[in-house]
Amino acid sequence: MKSRHITLQNSDTKYPLPLIEKEQISHNTRRFRFGLPSLDHALGLPVGNYVHLLAEIDGVLVVRAYTPVSSDDDLGFVDLIIKIYFKNVHPNYPEGGKMTQYLENMKIGDTILFQGPSGCLFYHGSGKFVFKPYKTSEPETKLVHHLGMIAGGTGITPMLQLIRCIARKPSDKTVMSLIFANQTEEDILMRNELEEIARTHPTQFNLWYTLDRPPVDWKYSSGFITKDMIKEHLPPPGKSTLILETLEM
């Protein structure tokens, strides 16, 4: 078995990583794969944490937070799935997204700075969540039997990180329920993987969608997430229940 080296040794250090692959997932979503220092390197990101990407754009330092869809089981690379906010698409944001358009224009071999790990949520397995709002905070532990998740668009990435981690370990019996909101059926990211996990873990992972513009034969919900939808598809409040939410359409 290969010995693993950790890339993110220090959360205050910035690590330049090269773009080694770019895949078009949809008309405005891409998978960016960045290379780690060697094929024996893992990123070194605790489950529940995220990274910051830093770039100087038009003379200004731009920093954005992203959760990889790869894990520390993947050696030699880190994958990010990112929605590109193009210019002149949304009337409220005529300039589009600075960082996402910068990433879109990167060429294979170009580097960008990674910094991390960052975050106040840590998942230690078997339902054990640890919260640490600040570096100096005393950690708070919560044992969770049923994890409820609400995600929209690319906000699925931090949820997928948790879902993968739990589903990959037969010893982890944490039950998961996800409501995943999108604009159209074509916008549902990682759909095949989510539905495969739901198929292979039918008593452990409950998956539900809602769409702004559903097709005629759509069998899930439509419109905004409602109280009734949450009541029907997520666990009720309780000491062993945790609800997480990330909405980024």
| Mean pLDDT of successive 10-residue stretches along the chain, which has 249 residues | 83 98 92 98 97 97 96 96 88 86 98 97 97 87 98 94 96 98 94 97 98 97 96 97 83
The β-bridge partners of 80 are 32
- Residue 66 marked as a ligand binder: yes
pLDDT of residue 27: 86
pLDDT of residue 189: 92
Rounded to whole angstroms, how far apart are CA atoms 172 and 193? Answer: 19
- Residue 129 marked as a ligand binder: no
pLDDT of residue 2: 57
pLDDT of residue 248: 65
pLDDT of residue 3: 65
| pTM for the whole structure | 0.90
Rounded to whole angstroms, how far apart are CA atoms 30 and 83? Answer: 6
- Residue 149 marked as a ligand binder: no
- Residue 86 marked as a ligand binder: yes
- Residue 14 marked as a ligand binder: no
Residue 238: CA count within 13 A, CB half-sphere: 11
Cβ atoms of 116 and 75 within 8 Å: the answer is no
Domains and CATH numbers, the chain: 5-118 (2.40.30.10), 121-248 (3.40.50.80)
* Residues in the chain, overall count: 249
- Residue 83 marked as a ligand binder: yes
